[in-house]
Structure 1
Amino acid sequence: MPRIRVLPHAEICPQGADIEGPEGMSICDALLRAGIPIEHACEKACACTTCHVLVREGYEALGPASDKEEDLLDKAWGLEPDSRLSCQAKIPKETALVIEIPKYTINMVSEGH
C-alpha cells in the first residue's frame, strides 16, 4: 500500500507521521483515517482551501489538478508550486508521498473536525 510521510506540524501532527493509504483514496481521507485532524471546512467538496497541503515528494505522480482546484488554490495561504487540495489529490499507485500541512489556513474559525 502506498505510504505518506507527514512532516511535523506544531498543532495538527507535532511528531509527524508515516501512514498508508490505498491507491485512489484522497490524501485528506487518508490523513483523517490515520487520526490526523486536517481541516476540511467544505466537507471535501472542493469549495474551500482549508485542506491545502504541500507535496514535498511525489508531486509528479499525482494526477493533474482540475481547473476548479487550481482556481481555489490561488486563494490558499502559503501557495507554492507543489500545493494541492488534499481532498482532491488522490494517492498514486506505488509512489511514496511526503506532505507538509501549512502552518495557517484562511479559515477564520476551526470547525473542530
Structure 2
Amino acid sequence: MTQVIVLPHVELCPEGTVIEAPQGESICDALLGAGIEIEHACEKSCACTTCHVVIREGFNSLEAAEELEEDLLDKAWGLEPTSRLSCQAKVGTTPLVVEIPRYTINMAREGKR
C-alpha cells in the first residue's frame, strides 16, 4: 500500500487526510474508496476534467500522461505543471501529496458540450 496525503479541501475533505492505496489503483478510485467524493462526471473514462488534481509531491513517480489526458487537462480550471486527471493517474510505490482544486469545470452540467 502507498500513502496518499490529501490536502484540505473546504467541501470534500476539510481537515485533509492520509489514505493508503494499492499500487495500480487510480487516484480517483483511492479517493472515492476513502469517502472523498471527488467529482467524476464521465465515470472515469477520461472524457472530462472534473477529477482534476494537483500532485504536490511524488509527481515524477507517476507514469506520463497520455495525449488524450494532456488535451483534456488544457481545459481544466487551475491547471498547473503537476496537474493530472485522477481517473488516469495510477498510484505507484512512492507516497503522493494530492490537492483537489477548489473549483472544477463540468462541461456537461454547465451546457458546454
Both proteins in one fold, TM over 0.5: yes
**Seq. identity, %:** 69
Gaps of 5+ in 2: none
What does residue 107 of structure 1 align with? Answer: 106
Residues in 1 aligned to 2:58 and 2:92: alpha-carbon distance in whole angstroms: 9
- Aligned equivalents of 2:105 and 2:40: distance in 1? 12
Partner residue in 1 for 2:20: 20
Q: Which residue of 1 aligns with 2:92?
A: 92
Aligned-partner Cα distance in 1 for 2:32–2:43: 12
Cα distance in 2 for residues equivalent to 1:36 and 1:87: 14
CA distance in 1: counterparts of 2:2 and 2:105, whole angstroms: 30
Runs of 4+ in 1 over 3 A off after TM superposition: none
- Match of 1:46, as an amino acid? C
Q: For residues 2 and 9 of structure 2, what CA distance do their matches in structure 1 show?
A: 21
Give CA-to-partner distance per residue, 1:56-91, whole Å, 9 cap, x none.
000000000000000000000000000000000000
Counterpart for residue 32 of structure 2: 32
| Match in the other structure for 1:72 | 72
Q: Secondary structure at the match of 1:56?
A: strand
TM-score calculated relative to the size of structure 1:
0.94
Q: CA deviation at 1:98?
A: 0.1
Letter in 2 for 1:88: Q
- Root-mean-square deviation (CA, aligned residues, Å) is 1.2
Deviation of the 1:107 alpha carbon: 1.7
The separation in 2 between residues aligned to 1:81 and 1:3, in whole angstroms, is: 22
